[in-house]
C-alpha cells in the first residue's frame, strides 16, 4: 500500500494577513507543484481566505487549526465546519497538544470535533502525543493507544481511512528536541497496528501517520526514511519559506 506523503505546516498563532500572504506567495512559487507529495498550510483563521487566494491554482491545500462540533450557536471563540469550508479549507487539525494543555481539550471533545469534520468532508488531522512525564513513566504506549481509541471512537472503517493521524510528542514540540527516527517509528508502527484492530488491514495501510515535533530541514530526510512515517506536521520551521520548502522536498538532494 503506497501512501502519498503529506507535509503540513501548522502556523499556530503566527501571521497577520499581510505576513501570511507573503509567506503563502513564496510557497506557491517554491512548492506549488511537487509531484508525489501533498502539502497543507494551516494559517490562523483570519488569514485563511487570503492565503487561499495566494495558493489558488497550486497543489497546496488549506487547513484550519481547530473546529467546533456544533454547526452554529452560542460558542464564543469557536468556529464551525461550514465556515471553514466556505473559507476554502479541506483539512483541519484536531486535538493539538497545545489545545489539550492550554484550552481544556479532552479525548471526548477531540472525538466530537472529529465527527463534525468527517460529516463536513474535511480531512481531520488528529493529534496525539505523550508528555515527558508520561514517557519517563513508560506510559507512552498506553497514552497513545488511549488517545487514538477515544479520538476515533464511533468512526467507521471508511471514515478512519479518511483520517490523518499526527504523532506529536509534547516534549518535542517547539523544544528543538526531535524524537529520534527510531522513537517515532516505534510509536507510528504501534498506531498502525492499533488501526488494524479499529478498522482493517487495508484501512490501516491507507492512513497517513505524520510526525510532529521540531521537524526541520536537517532531520526530515531521516524521519521520512522510516516505513511508518508518512509525512510531517511542522510548526516553527513552516514559518520559514526556505526551510518548509526543503522539508516538502525531502529526499530531493538540493544541488
Ligand atoms: P514545532 O515544529 O515548532 O516543534 O511544532 C510542532 C507542532 O506542534 C506542529 O503541530
Q: What is the dihedral of CA 233, 237, 242, 244, to 10 degrees?
A: 0
Please, which residues have CB within 8 angstroms of residue 237's CB and are 6 or more apart in sequence?
A: 215, 216, 217, 243, 244, 247
Percent of the chain whose predicted confidence (pLDDT) is above 90:
96
Q: 123: closest CA among 79, 87, 159?
A: 159
First and final C-alpha spacing in the chain? 31
Q: Which pLDDT tens digit goes with each residue over 110-135?
A: 999 999 999 999 999 999 999 999 99
Q: Where are the alpha helices (DSSP H) in 172-236?
A: 181-198, 201-206, 217-224
- Helix, strand or coil, per DSSP, at residue 105: coil
* Residue 31 contacts residue 9 (beta carbons within 8 Å): no
Q: 215: closest CA among 152, 150, 166, 162?
A: 166
pLDDT-derived band at 255 (thresholds 50, 70, 90) equals very low
* Residue 125 contacts residue 92 (beta carbons within 8 Å): yes
Ligand 1 interacting residues, C-beta cut-off 6 A = 10, 96, 168, 173-174, 212-215, 233-237
pLDDT given at position 251: 85
User: How many CB atoms neighbour CB 7 within 10 A?
Assistant: 28
User: DSSP class of residue 240?
Assistant: S
Q: Which pLDDT tens digit goes with each residue over 64-109?
A: 999 999 999 999 999 999 999 999 999 999 999 999 999 999 999 9
Q: Does the annotation count 96 as an active-site position?
A: yes
Mean pLDDT of all residues in the chain? 96
What is the residue with the minimal CA distance to atom 5 of ligand 1?
Answer: 235
pLDDT given at position 2: 85
Distance from Cα 108 to the centre of ligand 1, integer Å: 23
Distance from Cα 173 to the centre of ligand 1, integer Å: 5
Greatest CA span in the chain, whole angstroms? 54
Percent of the chain whose predicted confidence (pLDDT) is above 70:
98
Q: Does the annotation count 130 as an active-site position?
A: no
To test the ligand 1 pocket, which listed residue (43, 129, 214) has its Cβ within 8 A of the most ligand atoms? 214
Distance from Cα 27 to the centre of ligand 1, integer Å: 18
- The predicted model gives 50-58 an average pLDDT of 98
Of 38, 105, 130, 168, the catalytic one is: 168
pLDDT given at position 1: 60
Please, which residues have CB within 8 angstroms of residue 165's CB and are 6 or more apart in sequence?
A: 125, 126, 127, 128, 148, 191, 207, 208, 209, 210
Of 96, 130, 226, 243, the catalytic one is: 96
pLDDT given at position 253: 45
Between CA 197 and CA 96 the distance in angstroms is: 24
Domains and CATH numbers, the chain: 6-248 (3.20.20.70)
What is the residue with the minimal CA distance to atom 1 of ligand 1?
Answer: 235
Amino acid at each position: 500500500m503506497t501512501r502519498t506523503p503529506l507535509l503540513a505546516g501548522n502556523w499556530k498563532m503566527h501571521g497577520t494577513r499581510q505576513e501570511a500572504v507573503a509567506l503563502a506567495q513564496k510557497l506557491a512559487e517554491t512548492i506549488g507543484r511537487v509531484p508525489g507529495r501533498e502539502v497543507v498550510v494551516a494559517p490562523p483563521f483570519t488569514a485563511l481566505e487570503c492565503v487561499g487566494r495566494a495558493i489558488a491554482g497550486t497543489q497546496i491545500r488549506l487547513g484550519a487549526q481547530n473546529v467546533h462540533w456544533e454547526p452554529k450557536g452560542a460558542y464564543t471563540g469557536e468556529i464551525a465546519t461550514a465556515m471553514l469550508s466556505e473559507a476554502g479549507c479541506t483539512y483541519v487539525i484536531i486535538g493539538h497538544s497545545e489545545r489539550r494543555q492550554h484550552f481544556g481539550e479532552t479525548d471526548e471533545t477531540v472525538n466530537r470535533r472529529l465527527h463534525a469534520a468527517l460529516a463536513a468532508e474535511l480531512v481531520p488531522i488528529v493529534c496525539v502525543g505523550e508528555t515527558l512525564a508520561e514517557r519517563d513513566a513508560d506510559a507512552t504506549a498506553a497514552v497513545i493507544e488511549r488517545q487514538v481509541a477515544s479520538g476515533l471512537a464511533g468512526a467507521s472503517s471508511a471514515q478512519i481511512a479518511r483520517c490523518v493521524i499526527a504523532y506529536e510528542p509534547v516534549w518535542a514540540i517547539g523544544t528543538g528536541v526531535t524524537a529520534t527516527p527510531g522513537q517515532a517509528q516505534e510509536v507510528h508502527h504501534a498506531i498502525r497496528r492499533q488501526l488494524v484492530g479499529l478498522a482493517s488491514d487495508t484501512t490501516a495501510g491507507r492512513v497517513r501517520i505524520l510526525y510532529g515535533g521540531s521537524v526541520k530541514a536537517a532531520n526530515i530526510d531521516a524521519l521520512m526514511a522510516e516505513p511508518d512515517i508518512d509525512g510531517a506536521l511542522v510548526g516553527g520551521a513552516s514559518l520559514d519559506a526556505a526551510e518548509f520548502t526543503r522539508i516538502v522536498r525531502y529526499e530531493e538532494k538540493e544541488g
